[in-house]
Amino acid sequence: MSTRKSPAATRTAAKAAAKGSPETRSAAPPIEIDGAALPPLGMDPAVFLRDYWQKRPLLIRNAFPGLRSPLMPEDLAGLACEEGTLSRLIRHDRGRDAWSVRHGPFAEEDFPGLPDHDWTLLVQDVDKWDPDVAALLDHFRFLPRWRIDDIMVSFAATGGSVGAHVDQYDVFLLQSHGHRRWQIDAGANPPLDFRDDVELKLLREFTPTHDWVLAPGDMLYLPPNVPHHGIAEDPCLTISVGMRAPAAAELIGDWLDDLLAETDESVRYHDEDLQVPVDPNEIDVAAMNRVVAALNAIRMNDPDRLGDWFGRFITTYRAAGEVMPRGDERPRIELEWDLTQGAALQRHPWSRMAWRRNTAGGGASLFCSGRTLALPLADARLLADTRLLDGAAWNALSEAGREAAHGLYQAGHYALLADDPDADYDDGDA
Residue 158 pLDDT: 98
- Amino acid in position 421: P
Domain count for the chain: 3
Asked if 368 and 353 count as a contact pair (C-beta separation under 8 A), the reply is yes
φ, ψ of residue 207 in degrees (nearest 5): -125, 100
Prior bond to 39 cis, omega within 30? no
Distance of CA 262 to the CA centre of its chain: 29
- Are 294 and 181 within one domain? no
Distance of CA 357 to the CA centre of its chain: 22
Residue 3 pLDDT: 45
Largest CA distance in the chain: 81
- Are 190 and 87 within one domain? yes
| Domain CATH for 418 | 3.40.366.30
Alpha-carbon span 123 to 105, nearest angstrom:
10
Asked if 96 and 196 count as a contact pair (C-beta separation under 8 A), the reply is no
Work out the angle between the directed axes of helices 248-262 and 303-314 (0-180°, nearest 10).
120
Residue 7 pLDDT: 45
- Are 238 and 115 within one domain? yes
- Are 294 and 149 within one domain? no
- Are 164 and 266 within one domain? no
Which residues are 368's β-sheet partners? Answer: 353, 371
Residue 94 domain-assigned?
Answer: yes
Contacts of 156 (CB under 8 A, 6+ apart): 119, 120, 121, 180, 230, 231, 232, 235, 236, 238
| Domain CATH for 199 | 2.60.120.650
Alpha-carbon span 155 to 158, nearest angstrom:
10
3-state secondary structure the chain: CCCCCCHHHHHHHHHHHHHCCHHHHHCCCCCEEECCCCCCCCCCHHHHHHHCCCCCCEEEECCCCCCCCCCCHHHHHHHHCCCCCCEEEEEEECCCCEEEEEECCCCHHHCCCCCCECEEEEECCHHHHCHHHHHHHHHHCCCCHHHEEEEEEEEECECCCCCCECCCCCEEEEEEECCEEEEECCCCCCCCCECCCCCCCCECCCCCCEEEEECCCCEEEECCCCCEEEEECCCEEEEEEEECCCCHHHHHHHHHHHHHHHCCCCCCCCCCCCCCCCCCCCCCHHHHHHHHHHHHHCCCCCHHHHHHHHHHHHCCCCCCCCCCCCCCCCCHHHHHHHHHCCCEEEECCCCCEEEEECCCCCCEEEEECCEEEEECHHHHHHHHHCCEECHHHHHHCCHHHHHHHHHHHHCCCEEEECCCHHHCCCCCCC
Beta strands 344-347 and 414-417, pairing class = antiparallel
φ, ψ of residue 228 in degrees (nearest 5): -150, 160
Residue 168: exposure state from Cβ atoms within 10 A (0-12, 13-18, ≥19): exposed
- Are 342 and 410 within one domain? yes
- Are 164 and 234 within one domain? yes
Residue 214 domain-assigned?
Answer: yes
Alpha-carbon span 84 to 65, nearest angstrom:
33
Structure pTM?
Answer: 0.86
Residue 301 pLDDT: 62
Residue of 184, 143, 145 lying closest to 167 (CA atoms): 184
Would you put residue 97 in left (φ > 0), alpha (ψ -120 to 50) or beta?
left
Alpha-carbon span 217 to 219, nearest angstrom:
6
Residue 133 domain-assigned?
Answer: yes
Give the pLDDT means over successive 10-residue stretches in the chain (430 positions). 45 49 65 97 97 98 96 96 94 94 94 95 95 96 95 98 96 98 96 93 96 98 97 98 93 88 80 92 93 77 85 84 87 96 95 92 92 96 97 97 97 85 45
- Are 137 and 196 within one domain? yes
Residue 23 domain-assigned?
Answer: no
Residue of 111, 421, 98, 359 lying closest to 235 (CA atoms): 111
- Are 394 and 298 within one domain? no
Alpha-carbon span 138 to 136, nearest angstrom:
5
Q: Supply the range of the domain harboring residue 99.
A: 64-243
- Are 153 and 302 within one domain? no
Residue 293 pLDDT: 85
Residue 31 domain-assigned?
Answer: no
Residue of 22, 18, 57, 12 lying closest to 39 (CA atoms): 18
Among residues 188, 213, 243, the one where a domain terminates is: 243
- Are 167 and 205 within one domain? yes
- Are 237 and 258 within one domain? no
Residue 424 pLDDT: 52
Torsion angle in degrees (nearest 10) through CA of 220, 223, 229, 234: 20
Residue 330 pLDDT: 93
Residue 177 domain-assigned?
Answer: yes
Residue 319 domain-assigned?
Answer: no
